[in-house]
A and B are shown apart, each in its own frame.
Chain A
Amino acid sequence: MPIISNVTCPVCGSLCDDIEILVENNKVVKVKNACGLGESKFLNYNGHRLRKPLIRKNGELVEASIKEAIRRSAEILADAAYPILYGWSNTSCEAIRVGLELAEEIGGVIDNTSTVCHGPSVLSIQDVGYSTCTLGQIRHRADLVIYWGSNPWSAHPRHIERYTAFTQGRFQASIWYRYLAHLSAYRARRRLLRALKLSSVREAPTIEAEAGLPPTLFRKERKMIVVDVRRTRTADIADYFLQVEPNKDYEVLEALRALIRDEEIDMDTVAGVPVETLEELADVMIGCKFGVLFFGVGLTMSMGKLRNIDTAICMVRDLNRYTKFIIMPMRGHFNVTGSNVVSTWQTGYPYAVDFSHGYPRYNPGETSVVDILARGESDASLIVASDPVAHFPKAAVENLVRNPVIVIDPEPTPTTLMADVVFPSSFVGIETEGTAYRMDHVPLPLKKIVEPPSGCLSDMEILQRILAEVRKIKRETAEVA
């Protein structure tokens, strides 16, 4: 029974690479070190998957040979005048490289899922830069960890334990014991509240006292702050939770920036937060030795979008005049960072790259897929390891499914249900090896731990075959002409 160690988990952008997997008869039977999400994927991935290529005929998806599916896809793509190639965050860099070549060959628009997660972060970085680092720096040095609009407890479950507050660093100790104390106190308080409610005493369930920051924040040890529009699970374990009104993050960040510069503010409260609290928070940030601000899609998707990030970055930049401060986006899919990285080295641009004129062009809002779909401009699509039908706004999906859709995915999704050609692929990081980039741009190898079912090719192989077939069709057309 082989135990495979140092496996990189192909789920979220934390890309934990210390997973141990027990394999029996080409089956994953036990998973060690992974979080709930990782374990769930390793154990259940094979239970519900596509095994045969499908082609839509007379309105129904029917099984087809791989050859037929490749030919059909190549015909659709070679014929298309403005195809989109979307997804790429749940596959390997090796597959993305081929995807970019295919996009160039067919004069398409290639976009990855960062367009609907951290695209705004990219836009703001392009405006003002950012001060960042790899996660190990935070592990060893950070004495102030802020999560803003991100909920690692649910989306990146091992982030805190591996990289931030609960990890043991060279210059900073773990604070997990404080968390335990904190959590039990919190639970006790909740129990009390529930009891009060049962005895039908009406009590507004305020959990944090309004006035000032808790004294722990002024300690020299590591501390953790969560800022969000609602009390997330991550907030429960933080030393301090700052709740801001929805869609007001921009104002709070701007106010903090002014306070960091020691400017006066003409208001008493900003987004429901007293200015004194913000002043204290600014002092905590200036006073730390090494601070880090992790932000999530809570900032990129809410009102202000790229400008929320813009001003957060500028705040961190300004803090570097006084101390060391770092900012990092919490990237979602396991290789969304890689999709940006590969796209950038090949084309100069991290996402929303339009090859229709034979060279890369970039202007999110114009060359990004949601916009192209909403305007009804594309005439075909290739979706790789993504599910836009489930996650795009309705108007975009309507236009997506109106035109031919080719999907490469190991499992059935709403998008495969609406597709015209479906390729069952192998699971990257389980059945196929490759490279992925962690949220801090550290490249890590993905392992092949079991054999894929017969007939399930890797994303890369499928793309290579489509590309070869497209070139063949082009040659054929040229000869006829």
Chain B
Amino acid sequence: MKVTLLTGRTLRQGQGKEYGKLSERYLKSVAVCEMDPDDMKRLGIRENENVKIATNYGSVVVKAVKSLRAPHPSAVFVPYGPWISLVMSSKTHGTGMPSLKGVTAEVNPAPTEPVLSLPELLKRHFKKE
């Protein structure tokens, strides 16, 4: 499903951060995708099932959760964090600021793919020489 991807801070992410970025609590607070319940129905996914978010710049698997802020049809919200950064473009159009909100993305169920832990995520995507 084609969606507009929004990102931002949340209270939980802010608090999760203070428990340490390597903590389970942080992962749970940011590796999520808040979706409009109607959109979830359309995609046939339930709370806490995995979805894959893909853009032209990459893809990542996170857990889908029902948005408490609905309705926002075909817009999904993901808190800032290393997971969602993987699908963001580094183009800034000469402003220094990459587009982090309102990005066009594709969200689909990913029942067989896991949500990677932070070390796994870094290892998978970045190489240190």
CB contacts (< 8 Å) of A115 on chain B: these are 96-97
CB distance from B118 to the nearest CB of A (A): 6
Chain A residue at minimal CB-CB distance from B82? A390
- CB pair A230 B6 closer than 8 Å: yes
Asked if B1 lies at the interface with its beta carbon under 8 angstroms from chain A, I say no
Note all chain B residues with C-beta closer than 8 A to A396: 90, 98
Q: Name the CB-closest residue of A to B118.
A: A414
Name the residue on B nearest A372 (C-beta): B96
Q: Is the CB of A411 within 8 A of B20?
A: yes
* Residue pair A301, B21 in contact (C-beta under 8 Å): no
- List, in ascending order, chain B residues with CB within 8 A of A411's CB: 20-21
The answer to the question of A449 belonging to the interface, with a C-beta cut-off of 8 Å to chain B, is no
Q: With A151-B8, A370-B96 given, is the CB distance from A37 to B75 under 8 Å?
A: no
Interface segment, B45-53, B108-116, B119-127? Answer: B119-127
Closest to B12 in A: A154
Complex-state Cα separation, A395 to B96, whole angstroms: 14
Q: How many A-B residue pairs have CB under 8 A?
A: 196
**Distance between B85 CB and nearest chain A CB, rounded to angstroms:** 6
Q: Are B15 and A391 in contact (CB under 8 A)?
A: no
Given contacts A300-B97, A365-B96, contact A394 B19 (CB under 8 A): no
B37-62 vs A, Cβ < 8 Å mask (1 yes, 0 no): 00000000000000000000110000
A59 / chain B contacts, CB cutoff of 8 Å: 128
B21 contacts across to A, CB distance below 8 A: 387, 390, 411-414
Q: How far is the CB of A155 from chain B (nearest CB, A)?
A: 4
Cα separation A155 to B98 with both chains bound (whole Å): 20
Name the distance in Å between A89's Cβ and chain B's nearest Cβ: 14
Assembled-state Cα–Cα distance A41/B99 (Å): 29
Q: Pick the most buried of B82, B91, B99, B125: most chain A CB atoms within 10 A of its CB.
A: B82
Select one of B57, B101, B126 contacting A301, CB under 8 A. B101
Chain A residues within 8 Å of B98, by CB: 116, 370, 392-393, 396
B70 CB contacts on chain A under 8 angstroms: 205, 231
List residues of B (65-81) whose CB comes within 8 Å of A's CBs.
67, 69-72, 75, 77, 80-81
The answer, yes or no, to whether B64 is at the interface (CB within 8 Å) is no
Q: Mark A278-299, 1 if CB is under 8 A from B, else 0.
A: 0000000000000000000110
For A417, the chain B residues whose CB sits under 8 A away are 118-119, 122
A300 to B21, CA, bound (A): 25
Please state if B88 and A364 are interface contacts (CB–CB under 8 Å).
no
- Flag whether A352 is at the interface (Cβ < 8 A): yes
**CA of A81 to CA of B129 in the docked complex: distance in angstroms?**
19
B92 touches A302 (CB 8 A): no
A154 contacts B96, C-beta separation under 8 Å: no
Closest 8 CB pairs of A and B: A368-B96, A48-B20, A365-B94, A364-B96, A374-B90, A393-B88, A393-B90, A302-B102
Q: Residues of A at under 8 Å CB distance from B?
A: 11, 36-37, 40-41, 44-45, 47-48, 56, 59, 115-116, 119-120, 123, 151, 153-155, 157, 204-206, 229-233, 246-247, 297-298, 300-303, 305-306, 332, 351-352, 364-366, 368-371, 373-374, 387, 389-398, 401-402, 411-414, 417-418
Can you list 18 A-B contacts (CB < 8 A)?
Answer: A40-B18, A116-B96, A119-B96, A119-B97, A151-B8, A151-B9, A153-B11, A155-B14, A231-B72, A246-B6, A364-B95, A365-B95, A390-B81, A390-B82, A392-B98, A393-B57, A393-B85, A417-B118
